[in-house]
Amino acid sequence: MEPETSQFESSEMLATYLASTPLLEDSWRLCSRANADAPQSFLVHCAGKVGYLAFSGVQVVDCTEESCRKLVELEVYANGLFGGFCAAGDGDREPIMMHGGLLQLFMMFLNTQNFLSKIDELLLKGCKSIVCTGHSLGGALASLSALWLLSTMQTNSPSIQVLCITFGSPMLGNESFSQAILQERWCGNFCHVVGQHDIVPRMLFAPATPIMKELVILFHFWQLSMASPCLGQLASQLSYEDIVEVFRLVLTCAEKRCGETKDREGSVFWPFGGYLFCTDNGAVCLDNRVAIVKLLYLTMSKGSAASYIEDHLKYESYVGRVCLHYLRRRSLTDVSFSESSSEAGIAFALRSSGIEFQEAIYGTAKNCLAMARHIGCRRNINNAKMAVLLAKVNPLRAQIEWYKKFCDQSDDQMGYYDAFKHRNTRRGSKVNMNRVKLENFWDDVINQLETNQLTHDFHKLLKYVNAAHTYTLLVEPLDIAEYYRTCMHKSKGHYIEHGRKKRFKIFDKWWRDRKVGDEERNPRSRFASLTQDSCFWARVEEARECVLHLTGERDSGRQSVLLDKIVKFEQYAQGMIARKEVSVDVFAKNSSYSVFKEEWEELKSQLQLLPPRFPVSQESTVQDMCIETENTYVVRFS
């Protein structure tokens, strides 16, 4: 029999967390206040260590230009606003794209409002978490604000937790955008609350241009109703025929998307993060993108043309019912299912999502939730399998560690890096095989992470953070050695910019984001067992090439650039040595670093003897080398 799990189908941890804390109710209360009191703006609230940014749903999106109604490339239009997030996409896929009008609204908002000062106020008050929340278009602003905070605070204030809770918010970006959120492990930072029939979270399934006039009227009505219900009643209404036409178009496009497991048409919108589907019976929460798309269609298909307008204004009722019903145990005496806890959970979840056993769509919805649950359980199973696989590859790492120790004590005095680079023994070949096997293992880890097959906190588990870091420090020098051994730098360029694998960059980020203990901040009393910059030898190779090029360089401008690079490397290396962050193999007599030092000293002595190329004053006869500003070596003839 299947082991007992939660009786609800969902991203269970997130849904339970929201239901058992005041976050959901507090977020909606602040959104409602922002709608009434802060049109086209936001409210700030501090509750203990939690700071809230609540964005009004009363916003104006300029859709007069075609680009504002479609997806635009984020990296181009945002001008680096989201830092390295734009680079998180896979080069084989479509660029990360976002709704042009919503992106423009956020950028205007960021530049004109006192946004930054309010965030600083929250931090000064001691807030350890920031919750971005918003209703309707305010939800889109909340999502973009949370994304911006995540992109910037991961380096500036990594201890600050960011959560986004939206109500009836439209989708934002394409599949690459959704995938990039997934790769950054930020899905758990976003929870989108969706009404059973609310059209706004579903409207971007359909092309905007054919129904632009109707959408403008609808948003005018909704926003007047948010500000004051009596004003909404006075607002101009669409004809019933227009309402039905909008409903049918969105529903038809949503149904079409249900048959697509991936972005086959290019620039179409995809959900991201977790979705909390609310009905009068309760709620169900999902984080699987395909399942979300299907449930967005199935729940909307039960509604009427009138209900999709009303539902956008019913979130106060939905939130109250979610907090009341989500943890309530109910009997399903009218439903026939086996003793499997999985089927019981699905039955409860379907009832919570407003889909009854007798309805025609019940089977489709059941399969949708079963798939989502299977994926959730599979992540935990994959985590367990990964632990077993890690234990199996640890002996490969141990053999490489033994090889390093052997090289460090060898009579050839080349050290670990150079011994592998110039290897000609069976021992070196065996180590190379182990290197490739470890590469395959860690690439599989990255692939499973990027395809959402591992748990959301996998990258924070110390077992894997430490294992990945040790692997990087131990094995990346071998990758660098192989890169220069096979002369890849001559065809591709130097390793750091043109040859470094994505896995090492990801593992560097894991290590930076970990919680650092006090013992790690203490200075070292002895040299490290592994050089703490895994790219140290790549920097050595670049510095050696600079020395080589400088030897025959005659252009003074180019000469100055090369000298600057060499000096900066020399200072970097001296700093590493002073902090004892290098391994003893760096000092081996015949290591590349020792050879660099000899070549550099010889070049400096040669530079003293070069004939002058500029007019020499009668008072001065001495040639010398000096260091000017920015630590740049300049050859000066005086």
User: Among 23, 32, 29, 30, which Cα is nearest to 50's?
Assistant: 23
User: Among 34, 324, 278, 255, which Cα is nearest to 168's?
Assistant: 278
Q: Which residues pair with 300 in a beta bridge?
A: none
Q: Round to whole Å and give the CA distance between 237 and 455.
A: 47
Residue 389 CB partners (closer than 8 Å, separation 6+):
441
Q: Which residues pair with 129 in a beta bridge?
A: 50, 161
Residue 520 CB partners (closer than 8 Å, separation 6+):
none
Q: Round to whole Å and give the CA distance between 444 and 441.
A: 5
How far from 563 is each of 136, 597, 625, CA to CA, in Å? 57, 14, 11
Q: From the candidates 27, 41, 198, 352, which is the catalytic residue?
A: 198
Is-catalytic flag, 198? yes
2 phi, psi to nearest 5 deg: -65, 140
Q: Round to whole Å and give the CA distance between 64 and 61.
A: 9
The full length of the chain comes to: 638
Instruction: For the sheet with 282-286, list strands across it.
Output: 42-47, 50-55, 129-135, 161-167, 190-195, 274-279, 282-286
Helix (H, G, I), strand (E, B) or coil at 583: coil
Name the DSSP letter for residue 8: S
Is-catalytic flag, 312? yes
* Identity of the amino acid at 135: H
Q: Round to whole Å and give the CA distance between 341 and 431.
A: 49
Helix (H, G, I), strand (E, B) or coil at 550: helix
User: Among 472, 288, 463, which Cα is nearest to 386's?
Assistant: 463
Q: From the candidates 27, 32, 136, 592, which is the catalytic residue?
A: 136
Which residue has tokens 């290396």?
573
* Identity of the amino acid at 495: Y
Q: Round to whole Å and give the CA distance between 241 and 46.
A: 46
* Identity of the amino acid at 115: F
- Pairing between β-strand 42-47 and β-strand 50-55 as defined by DSSP bridges: antiparallel
Q: Round to whole Å and give the CA distance between 571 and 579.
A: 12
Q: Round to whole Å and give the CA distance between 142 and 192.
A: 11
Token output for 252: 């038809």
Token output for 570: 């020399």
Q: Within a 10 A sphere around the Cβ of 516, how many other Cβ atoms?
A: 11
Residue 526 CB partners (closer than 8 Å, separation 6+):
580
Is-catalytic flag, 20? no
Q: From the candidates 99, 135, 192, 312, which is the catalytic residue?
A: 312
**How are the residues of the chain apportioned to helix, strand and coil, as percentages rounded to the nearest 5?**
60, 10, 30
Known catalytic residues are 136, 198, 312
